[in-house]
Structure 1
Amino acid sequence: MISIQNYVFPETVEEAYDTLKNKRNNTVLGGCSFLRMGSKNIGTAIDLSRLNLNYIKENDEIIEIGAMTTFREIETSPILTKYFNGVLSQSVKNIVGIQLRNNVTVGGTVYSKYGFSDLITALLSLDAQVVLYNAGKMSLEKFLEKDFEKDILTKIIILKNNRKAVFKSMRNSSSDYALLNVAVSKENKDFKIVVGARPQRAKIAKEASIYLGKSELTDEDIERTSSIAAKELTFGTNMRGSKEYREAICKVLVKRALMEVL
């Protein structure tokens, strides 16, 4: 059960951060779609909806996505469907239903580092950074590896380059969370192979990515790369599938994504 003692609408990010740090059980709210997944006693709930953090914009070098941007906005954005083969829009379009995608926010998902997240897997395949109010700017990969610290994620920054990217996922049913998801991107000979919902959080298969970049990109190289990725990453078991099944599915999805991105 979720209990909330106080509910506030800060006017600035600074005010939101000060309130967050004031007491241990003060919490920033995202879209709130996943609150019911756990039990929590919240002292002061901090609603960021008045801070104008729902936007998707670009300049000549980068794309910026505000923390309060919803998955539905990611799915339908003309900017995001234009770049990287529309991989970000593709990654969220099959998540449950439009009603949920209208609620779930980018900041709530990325800051929480959800292992089941399709969006994080897709973002990690790009040159993405997070911007935190206190800790500042860092790569998404570094952020995912850090221990949890109280902070406020304000936006995601993605470098605009010539990366081509592909997203694949496996679900037991169309409305379920992914049993496994994969994103692969390519810029010249630089590859990023990312696997998420293992069910641990998304991670780059670095050995496989490096091997492929040095290879001749033959069918044998693709097959070998998918095997390396499945072996270097760890998998777990939950209600959606066993670790052995996830490892087998990893090989298939990586191979399919590589063939498509090439």
Structure 2
Amino acid sequence: MFILNNVAQPDTLHDAYRILTEKKSNTVLGGCAYLRMGSQIIHTGVDLSKLGLHYIKEADDCIEMGAMATLRDVETNPALFKYFNGVLPKAVGSIIGVQFRNVVTVGASVFSRYGFSDFITALMALDTEVELYHGGRMTLPRFMDRRRAKDILTKVIVHKTNRQAAYQALRNSKSDYPILTVAVSRLEDDWKIAVGARPTRARLAVQAAKRLVTGGTVTSDVIGQAAQIAAEELPFGTNMRGSAEYRRAMCHVLVKRAIAEVAACK
């Protein structure tokens, strides 16, 4: 359980960032779902609810998700169902339960870079950017590799393309945290393979994706080879939900399934 000494509800992003950076123990409050699982003392919690960041908007070339949009908003948004085979609603649909998804925000999920995040894994397989108040706009993979710093994630931008995508996750039970997550997408000969819950944060299997670039039909042999490369090129760890060896074996299986699903898309 966390202890919160003060709450600030700024009217501008400028004020929100100023308060956030005034003291080391100040932090942004999203849905607070995961803050409750830790033990810390927060001097001032910065509530972003007055900044107009609770939205999902479809533009001509992208879909923007404000930081205060919830995972339930992602799950039920009609625009997100239209693109990428509905991979984003599918990815978040099994997270804990509806009440939980009504609380957890897009900004907190992405900014925290949780290793168990289904949402981040799916976003990594798309053409995704994030926008930070201080750090500016950057691709999601670049943000994931960036050193942690005090900032406010204002929105997530997913560029609208003709990518076909698929999502796979392994859980002990439907509402449990994942043992492994996989997302695969294809835009012509541009493939992306993202693997998360390793149990560390999601990463792209770059060499595995390169194996899928054939200039023609992706055969079952090629799919199997790419899945094996993914299992070999990414590091895996052990926690209470599974061993590194188990995750590596399941990576081969889930990546193979996701690639086959995408390859079958018209």
Interval of TM-score (by shorter of Structure 1 and Structure 2): over 0.9
Superposed CA deviations along residues 186-236 of structure 1, whole A, max 9, x for unmatched, are 000110000000001000000000111137511100000000000000000
Name 2:251's counterpart in structure 1.
250
Name 2:130's counterpart in structure 1.
130
- Counterpart Cα distance in 1 of 2:240 and 2:36: 18
1:37 Cα offset (Å): 2.0
- Counterpart Cα distance in 2 of 1:208 and 1:260: 16
Name 1:241's counterpart in structure 2.
242
1:103 Cα offset (Å): 0.2
1:62 Cα offset (Å): 1.1
Name 2:87's counterpart in structure 1.
87
Matched, 1:222 2:214: no
- Counterpart Cα distance in 1 of 2:20 and 2:187: 40
The runs of at least 4 consecutive aligned structure 1 residues that moved more than 2 Å come to: none
Name 2:24's counterpart in structure 1.
24
1:174 Cα offset (Å): 1.2
- Counterpart Cα distance in 2 of 1:94 and 1:251: 22
- Counterpart Cα distance in 1 of 2:147 and 2:36: 23
The AA in structure 1 aligned to 2:90 is Q
- Counterpart Cα distance in 1 of 2:172 and 2:188: 35
The AA in structure 2 aligned to 1:188 is E
Name 1:202's counterpart in structure 2.
202
The AA in structure 2 aligned to 1:210 is K
1:36 Cα offset (Å): 2.0
- Counterpart Cα distance in 1 of 2:221 and 2:130: 36
- Counterpart Cα distance in 1 of 2:36 and 2:198: 22
After TM superposition, the structure 1 = structure 2 runs for residues 1-262 of structure 1, keeping only pairs within 5 Å, are 1-214=1-214, 216-262=217-263
Where do 5+ consecutive residues of structure 1 fail to align?
none
1:58 Cα offset (Å): 1.4
- Counterpart Cα distance in 2 of 1:175 and 1:62: 30
- Counterpart Cα distance in 2 of 1:181 and 1:149: 26
1:175 Cα offset (Å): 1.5
Superposed CA deviations along residues 82-136 of structure 1, whole A, max 9, x for unmatched, are 1111000000001110000000000001000000000000000000000000010
Where do 5+ consecutive residues of structure 2 fail to align?
none
The AA in structure 2 aligned to 1:174 is K
- Counterpart Cα distance in 1 of 2:35 and 2:23: 19
The AA in structure 1 aligned to 2:150 is K
- Counterpart Cα distance in 1 of 2:122 and 2:158: 11
- Counterpart Cα distance in 2 of 1:119 and 1:237: 21
- Counterpart Cα distance in 1 of 2:36 and 2:60: 40
Greater shift, 85-94 or 213-222, is seen at: 213-222
The AA in structure 2 aligned to 1:105 is T
1:151 Cα offset (Å): 0.2
- Counterpart Cα distance in 1 of 2:36 and 2:107: 18
Please, what is the CA RMSD of the aligned residues? 0.8
- Counterpart Cα distance in 2 of 1:45 and 1:60: 36
Identity of aligned residues (%): 55
TM-score, L = length of structure 1: 0.99
1:50 Cα offset (Å): 1.3
